[in-house]
Amino acid sequence: MDKKTILCIGAGYVGGPTMAMIAAKCPDYKVTVADINAQRIAGWNSDRLPIYEPGLTQLVEKSRGKNLFFTTEVEKGIKESHIIFVSVNTPTKTFGSGAGKAADLQFWEKSARLIAEQSEEDKIVVEKSTLPVRAAEAIHRILQSNTKGLKFSVLSNPEFLAEGTAVADLENPDRVLIGSMISPEGHEALEELVDIYAHWVPRERIITTNVWSSEMSKLVSNAMLAQRISSINSISALCEKTGADIAEVSHAVGLDKRVGSRFLRAGVGFGGSCFKKDILNLVYLCETFNLHEVADYWEQVVLMNEYQERRFAERIVKNMFNTISGKRIAVFGFAFKADTGDTRESPAIYISRLLLNERADLAIYDPKALDNAKIDLGDVTAGIEYCSDPYEAVRGAHAIALITDWKEFAEYDYDRIFSLMEKPAFIFDGRNVLDHDRLFKTGFNVFPLGKAEMTHFE
């Protein structure tokens, strides 16, 4: 078997773009991406990729059919590849011990068993999915219990790409982290993976650790990023009460180089498939080791996030004369952030449900995420209109609730929007992306986040 053969199990948000980048940068490798979901694979093989990510189509087209292949034949892929990345989903457990917090590793274990069963030669297995610390050990045991005498090396290589900027993050990562087992085989495997990334990543940015540190670093990176958001969001609540302006506070605080300016934007709360899940993993891990104070500390980051989402919805109700029953509310944005169609854990889901509970009529618009929104709210039978045009969404609406920071929201004609709405017209800018003074002058009652409101009422 050619050693320069890579398989990735799981053609999702992580597996797909990561493999497309490796294929583009390493023309000497054959890269195959396999997934049990035939529809997803058909998408990867078509002009309409299953995920929206700026620059991804060009990247895939560069190598697809040359050294990049998408297939449903997982078994065949395993047989033919020397290095196997596993990038299957690891959702939060919904049942049994650890339900609501621990990671459900069933897909990972299934993949490991399949690798052990199908392999005919020694292989390197790379964890791309985020796994709780010490999961690699369990996986190694499963792999090593094969009866063919094969040797498997397990590496941890967590992904730090953010959606919306995945291609740029992969092209120019802050760091590539690879954890390996402490053994001669582990070291050899490590070198092979380092060589792959060294095709385009400066060597000093490829850092190597033991497997546990690598797994732990992924959880902690996401926990600390989320913690910054919860910290600034908690202060946004205080700003609304005191007349301080969260954007000014965040700017002033962020200029301190020790703090840094990024990830200090207050908003409706963080979403995405990783932050909440990874923090809950960390919390569960701490509880397992009886570190209750540590567990409570990190859990608070998630609780603060839920508070922020709830607070946004409650502010809408309170300021619209304590009732939104029967009122049309235009929801601007459903994705968990701009430049993606992904809605996993999007604050929009929770906020929409709270507004629907108050019997509002929602008119939801998002440039990329409407299909996912329909799935997320699939159980709701009345009170939602999905609009493919923002001007349609605002027609007859009493309020706009801006949830996602899509750039286009700032570019609309708000004079026209104002004229289409019921009066008094409200705007709740959950991301502070609009020109609030201008909107106020147009006639809107403006509720920025973490700043004093601007209303035309006496």
- Residues in contact with ligand UDX by the rule CB under 6 A: 9-15, 35-37, 40, 87-90, 107, 110-111, 128-130, 159-163, 222, 225, 229, 263-265, 267, 270-275, 336-337
Rounded Cα gap, residues 197 and 202, in angstroms: 9
Q: Tokens in use for 248?
A: 């000014």
Q: CB 37 → ligand UDX: shortest distance, Å?
A: 4
Q: CB 264 → ligand UDX: shortest distance, Å?
A: 6
Q: CB 82 → ligand UDX: shortest distance, Å?
A: 19
> Of the two residues 5 and 273, which places its CB atom closer to ligand UDX in the complex?
273
274 is catalytic: yes
> Of the two residues 152 and 270, which places its CB atom closer to ligand UDX in the complex?
270
> Of the two residues 76 and 151, which places its CB atom closer to ligand UDX in the complex?
76
> Of the two residues 40 and 436, which places its CB atom closer to ligand UDX in the complex?
40
Q: CB 311 → ligand UDX: shortest distance, Å?
A: 14
Q: Choose the catalytic residue: 26, 239, 274, 286.
A: 274
> Of the two residues 160 and 297, which places its CB atom closer to ligand UDX in the complex?
160
Which positions are catalytic? Answer: 274
